Amino acid sequence: MAAAVSSPQLLNSLSVDPDAECKYGLYFRDGKRKVDYVLVYHHKRASGGRTLARRAQHGDAGPAARSPRQDLPLPGKAGPLGAGEPEPPLDYHEDDKRFRREEYEGNLVEAGLELERDEDAGPLGAGEPEPPLDYHEDDKRFRREEYEGNLVEAGLELERDEDTKIHGVGFVKIHAPWNVLCREAEFLKLKMPTKKLYHISETRGLLKKINSVLQKITDPIQPKVAEHRPQTTKRLSYPFSREKQHLFDLSDKDSFFDSKTRSTIVYEILKRTTCTKAKYSMGITSLLANGVYSAAYPLHDGDYEGDNVEFNDRKLLYEEWASYGVFYKYQPIDLVRKYFGEKIGLYFAWLGVYTQMLIPASVVGIIVFLYGWATVDDNIPSMEMCDQRHNITMCPLCDKTCSYWRMSSACATARASHLFDNPATVFFSVFMALWAATFMEHWKRKQMRLNYRWDLTGFEEEEDHPRAEYEARVLEKSLRKESKNKETDKVKLTWRDRFPAYFTNLVSIIFMIAVTFAIVLGVIIYRISTAAALAMNSSPSVRSNIRVTVTATAVIINLVVIILLDEVYGCIARWLTKIGGTQAQGRAVSELQLLLRTGRGLAPAGPPGGRDPGERDPRRWGLQTAGAPGSQFQGLPHQGGEGCQRRFVGRPGDYVYIFRSFRMEECAPGGCLMELCIQLSIIMLGKQLIQNNLFEIGIPKMKKFIRYLRLKHQSPSDHDEHVKKKQRYEVDYTLEPFAGLTPEYMEMIIQFGFVTLFVASFPLAPLFALLNNIIEIRLDAKKFVTELRRPVAVRAKDIGIWYNILRGVGKLAVIINAFVISFTSDFIPRLVYLYMYSENGTMHGFVNHTLSSFNVSDFQNGTAPNDPLDLGYEVQICRYKDYREPPWSEHKYDISKDFWAVLAARLAFVIVFQNLVMFMSDFVDWVIPDIPKDISQQIHKEKVLMVELFMREEQGKQQLLDTWMEKDRKKAEPCNNHSPAPAAPPPPPPPDGPDFPGGSL
């Protein structure tokens, strides 16, 4: 603490450029102690002057007065009492009484009373006008002083800076000295590299040659960072222990704990340190939630661009990772982990593996699409539909306004449907199911490699502290209980306290789901009404493109609604999280809430960069997936196969109506898969381009520009000079706070749903996902490096609940694709016709086989076409797509036997497809081991080396002890021959250090 004592004298003798030694905010004013963390608060100097001065008179001289280990106030430009001013003794009882008086008088003022205080010996002097008193600001200042005093007692060193270039904002810089770092590293069981080096087992034979060739081929796409180079040696890691310091290389103590580790240690101290209001404790999360501090964050290592910028990890990340010019290179994952921590490193590692796995999926998808393109001219059903010689007259698509139409007019739709509805689609669905299983197994193996490389083997995550909202509600309940019966027992929230919040959660979620279904219904009604309106148009071109126009506009409306509801649901989720009564925010509980509560809400409490606040209570998962890929389900009921859709749509003369006015829309003669493909492609591309990329780029830029205008408005004269001399902590404060990884995971999980759930209808989905992710990786990297405050490094050994969600989506994809192929495409009806009804073993006559006949005289009153002669001839019989008896049959319009044969084949296909693909996926899961063999061998080798190391150390201690005892025995033998001698002193304990034979590595 010697440096802390000399700080006031240092501040009085500053050089001409006071920021030169502290590197513009990266160090304390002495230029030696590094800033590991920053607390930010708002202060009002004028309104709090009287109360602060009165506290100084009574002895409340700031946080340092509360610690018996510190004799001076917090060093800084503007401490509570001024630099170097001695502090009177503190009377806690008087301070508590004064605090209660101030709170009570503040409540009187809020009740409408006017107060005037007369203190003859007041600090403002007789007759001096008093500034207005702000009780809330005084309360926050009181809590800050107590909290900072407790931080000093915990061993941290603080320095305050209120004379900043940001008006009304003060900063508390925190430094963790060496002894605190060692103590906390031991508490947290941080694995640190020892002096012991050992060789990593290398592959031999053919595999070694293959790896060497691959390394040479991929060398141009490797990032130019030291951490990414292949290593043949590794340091043995061991949990840090102050008693075993001789095991570690402590030659450079300043770099032994990197900035990531230092900020993590300080954050752990901030979490467990509390301040008390009477008997109610409040930690850093509660202080942030209640506005006592406005922000808390570690500092970036420095600037990332500029000619005179000192080289640092942030600049290296910007050049080799966060630049669009290096999109073709691998990510420097080890450097990302070194700078941002394991949790963020695992996210980008998972995103990189997912993007790499999309390459083979994209190639196969392109081949499937090209196969459909190459065989479209040989497809007999589409050729029959395009053949005008058949002159098949189809029934109207809507009542009254729509007339009869020729099937040949749907030739373009039929040909386009073949691009996505062909035999290769089934193969691609099976391939993507196996691809999903292989991707999950590949990621598990990659994750184990990272755990080994990052020394996370054996690491177990612990439950986190209670949520700030829970603490606030407990405090409120405690105050009510104390005011009634003065009991001091520990207060907990019961089910009666939680019930209103749970009931509100349930009602809100049900309401949001109902809104989602209402919008889907509204889109269906829009399609029906728009199709009827366009059918009345006199232009033949408009009437010929009704289906494409209706489908495209309806999907665009659906896309806009999805984006708007996503933001609205986010606001509702934040409110639901705020009123929630759940205590734990630990990972196990939060992951369960992820499944039960459905969502992505960003919790308002918690210091930026700690545990992911969205992971704590992410409530939009189910709602967002229901609005994005789940919105495609609206196409399945009224656009299912020709037999299935008729159960929802009806038939000519007996259609199904919504609200007795809107007739359900029919499936196109060319098949429903084409419309499903249009919906999927527009929503997927629109969501990625607009919401994911445009919003992520545009919104931060807009916020940054608004902050620039505000800053220029505050000091327009010296704005340029103001910007040039900003401290590091001031520059970082203007950045956006880190909101957690939940939005990033949600974005990719929804994309994964697009790629797997409906891949049977859109084989090009993996290709568009690949192109998006190539940009997404660099976009996210640029955001983390340049636009966001540096998050606190959080240790994690896996991606958490997101892995289980991915597995669930993969299993669900098998079922959905089975139903899409079976009921939405014509694949099963074609097989049934080919093997049961075809006369010559070909598909000739398939189109006519799938069409039923209807006598136009059987139309219901008021539903027949207004212009029955629109085609130029009178129509007696029109055709529609269904399996029903003809009008001349005894049981006319009843379901025919062909329908039941096709339905049985559909259900059989679903069962066989689902069980076969899931069996193959489980087989892939069983064949590929979760832990690579070389990694398991290396882990075993580390354990053996660690045992040998400690055995040698124990043997060295025993040998040294035996040597000392032998020397003492020899010295005592001559004395025993003459006269008694005093007993020899016991041997000194073996020293710890590099010179100790047993401990030297």
**Least confident piece of the model among 556-560, 709-713, 803-807:** 709-713
Angle at 993 between CA 990 and CA 998, to 5 degrees: 60
Total Cβ atoms within 10 A of residue 486: 7
Whether the CB-CB separation of 819 and 906 falls below 8 Å is answered with no
pLDDT(152) > 80: yes
Per-residue tokens: 461:
């995550």
Considering only residues 834 and 76, tell me which one the structure prediction assigns the higher pLDDT: 834
Mean pLDDT of the residues in the chain: 75
Of 727, 776, 725, 726, residue with least CA distance to 748: 776
* Cα Rg, the chain, nearest whole Å: 37
Band (461; pLDDT cuts 50, 70, 90): low
- The pLDDT tens digits for 490-514 are 555 566 666 777 777 788 788 888 8
Q: To the nearest whole percent, how much of the chain has pLDDT over 90? A: 16
Write down the pLDDT at residue 35: 92
- The pLDDT tens digits for 414-448 are 888 888 888 888 899 889 989 998 999 999 999 99
**Least confident piece of the model among 183-187, 459-463, 504-508, 674-678:** 459-463
Write down the pLDDT at residue 72: 36
pLDDT(161) > 60: yes
Write down the pLDDT at residue 443: 93
pLDDT(537) > 80: no
Per-residue tokens: 62:
């700031």
Considering only residues 1001 and 965, tell me which one the structure prediction assigns the higher pLDDT: 965
pLDDT(160) > 80: yes
Considering only residues 505 and 632, tell me which one the structure prediction assigns the higher pLDDT: 505
Considering only residues 692 and 902, tell me which one the structure prediction assigns the higher pLDDT: 902
Average pLDDT over residues 734-762: 87
- The pLDDT tens digits for 543-586 are 667 777 887 888 888 888 888 887 787 777 767 766 654 444 44
- The pLDDT tens digits for 600-622 are 333 333 344 444 544 444 444 44
950: left (phi over 0), alpha (psi -120 to 50) or beta: alpha
What whole-number distance in Å separates Cα of residue 421 and Cα of residue 676? 11
* CA separation, residue 434 to residues 354, 390, 439, 813 (Å): 14, 43, 8, 11
Average pLDDT over residues 285-289: 84
Name residues whose C-beta falls within 8 Å of residue 886's C-beta, 6 or more positions apart in sequence. Answer: 852, 853, 892
Q: Using H for helix, E for strand and C for coil, what is the string for 569-624?
A: HHHHHHHHHHHCCCCECCHHHHHHHHHHHCCCCCCCCCCCCCCCHHHHCCCCHHHH
pLDDT(596) > 50: no
Considering only residues 114 and 713, tell me which one the structure prediction assigns the higher pLDDT: 114
Q: To the nearest whole percent, how much of the chain has pLDDT over 70? A: 72
pLDDT(725) > 90: no
Largest distance between two CA atoms of the chain? 143
Whether the CB-CB separation of 338 and 313 falls below 8 Å is answered with yes
Average pLDDT over residues 145-164: 88
Average pLDDT over residues 514-524: 84
- The pLDDT tens digits for 83-114 are 334 444 444 456 567 767 877 887 787 787 87
What whole-number distance in Å separates Cα of residue 925 and Cα of residue 913? 18
What whole-number distance in Å separates Cα of residue 368 and Cα of residue 363? 9
| Residue in the structure block whose two tokens are 């001065």 | 53
- The pLDDT tens digits for 325-341 are 888 899 999 999 999 99
- The pLDDT tens digits for 18-62 are 565 566 678 888 888 899 999 999 877 544 433 333 333 333 333
**Least confident piece of the model among 124-128, 129-133, 521-525, 921-925:** 124-128
Write down the pLDDT at residue 604: 32
Q: Where are the domains of the chain?
A: 34-44+135-190+251-299, 191-239, 932-965
Write down the pLDDT at residue 174: 94
Band (366; pLDDT cuts 50, 70, 90): very high
Per-residue tokens: 663:
């007739």
Write down the pLDDT at residue 590: 40
Band (479; pLDDT cuts 50, 70, 90): low
Of 844, 841, 681, 824, residue with least CA distance to 754: 681
**Least confident piece of the model among 9-18, 489-498, 905-914:** 9-18
Of 344, 247, 260, residue with least CA distance to 300: 260
- The pLDDT tens digits for 655-682 are 888 777 777 777 666 667 777 788 888 8
Write down the pLDDT at residue 87: 40
- The pLDDT tens digits for 349-362 are 999 999 999 999 99
Whether the CB-CB separation of 246 and 999 falls below 8 Å is answered with yes
pLDDT(639) > 60: no
Band (910; pLDDT cuts 50, 70, 90): very high
Is 369 in a helix, a strand, or coil?
Answer: helix
Write down the pLDDT at residue 769: 92
Band (943; pLDDT cuts 50, 70, 90): confident
Band (13; pLDDT cuts 50, 70, 90): very low
Of 442, 503, 497, 563, residue with least CA distance to 924: 442
